[in-house]
Structure 1
Amino acid sequence: MNEDSSHGPAAHAPSLRIRPMALADCDRVSEIRVRGWQYAYRGLMPQPFLDGLSVERDAERRRTRFLDGGDGVTELVAERGGTIVGWAAHGPYRDGEVRTGDAELYAIYVAAAHLGTGVGRALLTTVLEQCAGHARVYLWVLKENARARRFYEIAGFAADGAEEPYEVDGVPVPEVRYVREPGVTSA
């Protein structure tokens, strides 16, 4: 998928390309993911936990999972001008250990310098296209992450009332579940 870069903040940037993640992308994807956590969750999770996140450890886990086949997870990268600027992962919805016929967006992260340029929307659009055969697409988001919740709501997702306790270093950071039918167009 190519993003039309003739409008908006990315008007002078090279076009965006969404493609499957490759093994060689693991280091950059881990950098985007870890820095994304450190940026997005500042003030929402304990700072010592965020400071202790390691790009190298994350990349090693990512390479291992990639080589093991990924357990049904589809990972995508967004590339602009030959540089990876975003990453998303989706697959079967996880309801405990039970697999349902629904899909789940597990993660979507954009490099800080590319926030607000359409990268996240392009990744989400591609995920929804790939999940079109499922009745619903779910995702979990930190209850206090207003920016992410707004992003998903604009894209047609809605909180369905489900909440899940989540704890980081003894601090509760509850998550809320959002749902959307893949064929529904966003506002």
Structure 2
Amino acid sequence: MQPRRRSTDLVAVDAGLPVGWISFGPYRGEAPGLERAGEIYAFYIRPELIGQGVGRTLLSETHTRMEAERFRTSALWVLSANKPARRFYERADYEADGGTQDDVYAETTLTELRYRRAR
């Protein structure tokens, strides 16, 4: 039996409806420099609201809460082909650190890159 993952979920709401969501907690893997890191597990913004600040607001609040939990850095995985998301994270001071992982869905391999951000 594996221990339960400790995570925090934040939801952005507009007119009573959810418009964005982010989930984060302790880093789940092992990598040098990530011993005391937080990880963004999932992040979603309604497509028609991308570029309107919802994502920046959720990410900023996530960073604030990670700092309160004394995480020294934060990490996340992003699809290598998702250039808009990669640019978004880079503007938020994340950098690809060379970590990669592949996920296979219905015989299609998707490569993810690990990004990290120091406090």
What band does the TM-score fall into relative to the shorter chain?
Answer: 0.7 to 0.9
| Contact 1:160–1:178 under 8 Å retained in 2 | yes
Name structure 2 gaps, 5 residues minimum. none
The code of the aligned residue for 1:141 comes to: V
Other-structure match for 1:72? 6
Bigger Cα Rg: 1
Match of 2:27, SS state, is strand
1:157 aligns with 2:94: yes
Q: Tell me by how many angstroms 1:71 deviates.
A: 2.7
Under a length normalisation based on structure 1, what TM-score does the superposition of the two structures give?
0.56
Other-structure match for 1:119? 54
Q: Tell me by how many angstroms 1:100 deviates.
A: 3.7
Q: Tell me by how many angstroms 1:106 deviates.
A: 0.8
* Aligned mate of 2:15, from 81, 94, 97: 81
Q: CA RMSD in A?
A: 1.6
Aligned equivalents of 2:98 and 2:46: distance in 1?
A: 30
Q: Which protein has the bigger strand share?
A: 2
| Contact 1:92–1:100 under 8 Å retained in 2 | no
Q: Tell me by how many angstroms 1:171 deviates.
A: 1.3
* Aligned mate of 1:172, from 93, 109, 117: 109
State, as a whole percentage, how many aligned pairs show the same letter. 38
Moved over 4 A (4+): none
1:1-187 equivalent positions in 2, closer than 5 A: 71-95=5-29, 100-132=35-67, 133-182=70-119
The code of the aligned residue for 1:76 comes to: L
Under a length normalisation based on structure 2, what TM-score does the superposition of the two structures give?
0.87
Q: Tell me by how many angstroms 1:169 deviates.
A: 1.1
The code of the aligned residue for 1:127 comes to: T
Aligned equivalents of 1:92 and 1:109: distance in 2?
A: 19
| Contact 1:94–1:100 under 8 Å retained in 2 | no
Name structure 1 gaps, 5 residues minimum. 1-69, 183-187
Of 142-151 and 77-86, deviating more is 77-86
| Contact 1:85–1:110 under 8 Å retained in 2 | yes
Q: Tell me by how many angstroms 1:84 deviates.
A: 1.2
- Encode CA deviations 1:94-148: one digit per residue, 9 max, x unaligned: 116xx94210011111112211110000000011111111111000001111011
The code of the aligned residue for 2:5 comes to: D
Match of 1:95, SS state, is coil
